Amino acid sequence: MSRFLDANEEPSQTLLPIAGYEKEELLPLEEAVRPITTLLYDLDTKVYIAKRNSQKPADGLTCDQSAAINLYTIEWEEPHDSLYTLLNRTLRSSERKALKPWFSYLKLFLTALYKLPSTKGVIWRGIRGDVYDQYNIDQVWWGVSSCTETMQVMERFVGRSGVRTLFTIECISGKAIGAHSFYKNENEIVLMPGTYLRVKDKWSPNENLYMIHLREENPPYQFIAPPFSKESTSMTEADLIKDLGHSEHRVRSINLAGRKLTDTDIEKITLTQLNLEQNGITDKGAYYLADVFRAKRKLTKLHLGANEITERGMNYLADALRNNRTLIRLDLNSNQIADKGMKHIADGLRNNTKLIELDLESNKISDKGAQRLTDALRVNKTLTKLNIGSNKIANKGMQHIATLLRINKTITRLDLSGNQITQNGIEQLAAALHNNMNLTELNLWCNPIMDEGVQYLANALANNNRTITKLGLERSEITEQGIKHLTLALYSNTSLTQLSLWGNQIGDKGAQYLAESLFVNKTLTQLDLGKNEITHDGVQKLADALRSNRVWEIIF
């Protein structure tokens, strides 16, 4: 599939933004492709096939919107170019006038993509070639970028020999299009045109393989206009609210991520699930949402990530949260809550008896904010999933979290990644884990816990803790000595099924320690050892161990 392997066609030049298409009307697919009919061989047949494949679309898309995605994924017979080839070639061209015939199709296609839920996590892309020197600080991918969920799938496309480059991408707004693709079994995730990527790391494991680690970030300016102009957004939302008020079959869930809604658009919410990520919502919008809570509507899931909500907005939301009896999931990642906002959140959680999941990632929360949160969770008995990753929590904040884990009986999934926790903080955490019997997932990646910190964790896993099934220790400055401690725990631990050690320095000796433990351990099923300075010697030892082990996925 060539669309998975065309990153080398991205221009090094910064192009003009992609704009103008958003002003087009939404048309049926047959009409939307009419201006490009002369560019593509036998387009009418492909449109017919796409429409036939999209009679029962998923994700709340219309038949035409789903078919627009289906059409994008279809491979044309050689020697004819596929639609995705010509579209991406045009998106990557400095001649923005050449995009005009594509406007109607782009309007339909990108509207469909915007309506899909955003996917956060690590995805993969690759090329047959070397672009190592072209990626230094940042990069804009102007085309629609096709990616896979795992490195193994991408390696099937790019091959295991010859000169090749693999991209590992931390995405925040990927779109899973598998349910709408012509190829249902590919689990394809696409990045939108104009995606801005920051280069986090790059290395070459061997002579012909290059690895580049990218992180999707909000761009310095808008590289692509969203497919909803301000005028169409206001009209559409007004019509939507009117329809919802009179419909016998009331819509319960809607995704408005990236619609660039303003505070005044928030006043008329009557849904049960609402995604408002990556908009322009400020404290005033939070005030309107708080009114929704107070009115005892039936909103159960609310996503407000990547907006502009500060401590003042959190005061409004927390005040409503105190007595809310419906909301079970609240996502506030990438706002501006900080420690003062945490005081309001804590006040709301003390009385709330319904919220199950809370995401506070990337909100400039320090030890003081962590203390306020944990004080509230001593009382709260319902929260099970907590994400406070990518903040400024250090060992003092870890002390408060550890104290909470000794007494809290409900939190099962905890994300502390990307903070400032060292081995001293991990010592306190590990001591708490000796007594905690409910935590099942623990993510500590990108904390400098080092070998000593791993030793503390290993002692907890070997002696008392029998509940943790998933442990993330990526980029934690762990060497072979830390792995030696960890593998001693694997000899006796019977609960851990997933372990990620990506981005450390365990080397061949660490791989040997792991291999020896795998002869005994029969519960671990997934092991990530990417970027760990392991050579063919370490791989051979692991391969020998895998012949008698249940591990079904191992990543190098």
Closest CA to 317 of 350, 340, 294: 294
pTM of the model: 0.63
Specify the amino acid at residue 403: T
Distances (CA, A) of 137 to 169, 170, 430: 14, 15, 37
- pLDDT at position 530: 86
- pLDDT at position 258: 52
With beta carbons less than 8 A apart as the criterion, state whether 106 and 194 touch. Answer: no
| Residue-range domains of the chain with CATH | 21-216 (3.90.176.10), 268-392 (3.80.10.10), 411-546 (3.80.10.10)
Cα–Cα distance for residue pair 221/339, rounded to 1 Å: 28
Alpha carbons within 13 A on the beta-carbon side of 330: 25
Cα–Cα distance for residue pair 331/302, rounded to 1 Å: 6
Question: How many CB atoms within 10 Å of residue 555?
Answer: 15
Q: Find all residues with CB under 8 Å of 196, minimum gap 6, and list them.
A: 138, 139, 140, 216, 217, 218, 219, 220, 223
Beta bridge partners of 555: 528
Closest CA to 19 of 300, 228, 220, 326: 228
| Phi, psi angle pair for 4, to nearest 5° | -80, -10
Specify the amino acid at residue 241: I
- pLDDT at position 382: 95
Closest CA to 507 of 480, 546, 537, 542: 480
With beta carbons less than 8 A apart as the criterion, state whether 482 and 454 touch. Answer: yes
- pLDDT at position 232: 46
- pLDDT at position 450: 96
With beta carbons less than 8 A apart as the criterion, state whether 281 and 309 touch. Answer: yes
Strands (E), 305-440: 329-331, 357-359, 385-387, 413-415
The two tokens of residue 442 are 């623990």
Kindly report whether the peptide bond that precedes residue 79 is cis, defined as omega within 30 degrees of 0: yes
Each residue's pLDDT, cut to its tens digit, for the chain (556 residues) gives 677 788 888 998 889 999 999 999 999 999 999 999 999 999 999 999 999 999 989 888 899 999 999 999 999 998 999 999 999 999 999 999 999 999 999 999 999 999 898 888 889 999 999 999 999 999 999 999 999 988 778 888 888 889 999 999 999 889 999 999 998 877 899 999 999 999 988 888 888 899 999 999 888 888 998 887 544 444 343 343 333 333 333 444 445 555 555 555 555 555 678 888 877 788 888 888 887 777 656 788 899 988 889 999 999 999 888 888 889 999 999 899 999 999 999 999 998 889 999 999 999 999 999 999 999 999 998 999 999 999 999 999 999 999 999 999 899 999 999 999 999 999 999 999 988 989 999 999 999 999 999 999 999 998 876 799 999 999 999 999 999 999 999 988 889 999 999 989 999 999 999 999 988 888 999 999 988 999 999 999 998 888 766 665 666 6
* Dihedral (Cα; 80, 188, 165, 417), 10-degree rounding: 160
